[in-house]
Structure 1
């Protein structure tokens, strides 16, 4: 791997880390597709490894705000959601399913802007966890379902709870890949080389949390979700 590729990958990861620290999600959404274009070795194991470290650090930073019951009920849906995603990959055209995912997320964003005010309930958490598992397995965009559900919660609760959920989900994915024999030495090295960049992103994101307090955070959550949906739709059509 050349220094040019490493620096480009590091810059992408840094931006994703800053967004996730300020909004609550965004690392995989931003970095996943771009890292795959730079060098396939970065996806999925290395990015999942750094996602574990980053989500853990962000959850610890606002640990008192983590809604653990929400994490638990979302994980109840995450596992069958992963299986649904695998089934979809086996039976359905990926581009068509990605188009459905993008359209669904975009519809939820539009409804949120107009009238929809989701409440964090047990059924809602299970549904969001299931959607996160299915969407993440197929398109690597598993953040929006949980983020949309939590959009009206306080900033610390949004960031801490989402990152705690992503920590558990990422660890489970890494363990699954390791059991399947998909984790190799080169993946560990690639992940380790990206760690300094997420450390910088962690530090930079701290002051941004104050800028995204109250309604601004909700706008940011909806903006990131809407952008991811549009990118996914465009990628499916073109």
Structure 2
């Protein structure tokens, strides 16, 4: 069990490094391995440490947070979450996940060619709905937000997405708590993962300075594409 938790911690460290640098991606890096190693590590412990990472990220670049954008995104997040729950209940999971993956890939391709999204109120609301739907039903809620902010400065992308993650995770954890799904063992597992999370966050400090500028948009699009491909692979192999 100690070896399993050590590997899980290293996965969280890698995920924290990616998310601290690009603004999102922890679930892409850590969640599949954690679920394979020990199912009890997801979703509650990962949500808890992810919330901690988001709080650290907001604190680090607080002045750059687009709070107006956060408000519009969260306004869309609630109905989006409801749509995601409905999708899980009434749609076949694998085909729906494939559709989500294809939609994200199409947005990435359009971004590379001609699409230049602007974080205005209506697109922000739509991105919030998409994030809530995709995050709830397919576990990739970050790409819709990241793609919308892809032309923004690095600190604006990271801090704004982190603020959305803090609020979104609080809603998720509150719902899980009311449903009686949070247990003492989840808190202990989160406590074990916390030092790895902090280490990854600290390492992301110099890494973000290397990527900020022209390289960050490439990284944002790469993580979005990787998320979509991973989702397509999961839907294909079940």
Report the TM-score when normalising by structure 1.
0.98
| Residue equivalent to 2:59 | 60
Distance in 1, matches of 2:145 and 2:97, equals 18
| Residue equivalent to 2:43 | 44
Cα deviation, 1:187-228, whole Å, max 9, x if unaligned, reads 111111100000100110000111111121000000000011
Distance in 1, matches of 2:176 and 2:113, equals 41
Distance in 2, matches of 1:154 and 1:227, equals 22
Distance in 1, matches of 2:54 and 2:88, equals 27
Distance in 1, matches of 2:35 and 2:134, equals 17
Cα deviation, 1:36-56, whole Å, max 9, x if unaligned, reads 111110111110000110000
| Residue equivalent to 2:17 | 18
After the TM superposition, which parts of structure 1 deviate over 6 Å for at least 4 consecutive aligned residues? none
**Aligned-residue offset at 1:129:** 0.8
Q: Map 1:64-143; keep pairs closer than 5 Å.
A: 64-143=63-142
Q: Map 1:70-219; keep pairs closer than 5 Å.
A: 70-219=69-218
| Residue equivalent to 2:233 | 234
Residues 29 and 143 of structure 1 are in contact (CA less than 8 Å); yes or no, is this contact kept in structure 2?
no
Cα RMSD, aligned residues only: 0.7
> Comparing 30-39 with 62-71, which one deviates more in the overlay?
30-39
**Aligned-residue offset at 1:29:** 2.3
**Aligned-residue offset at 1:162:** 0.6
Distance in 2, matches of 1:5 and 1:132, equals 31
User: How many residues align structurally?
Assistant: 237
Unaligned stretches of 5+ residues in structure 1: none
Distance in 2, matches of 1:188 and 1:152, equals 37
Distance in 2, matches of 1:135 and 1:24, equals 17
Report the TM-score when normalising by structure 2.
0.98
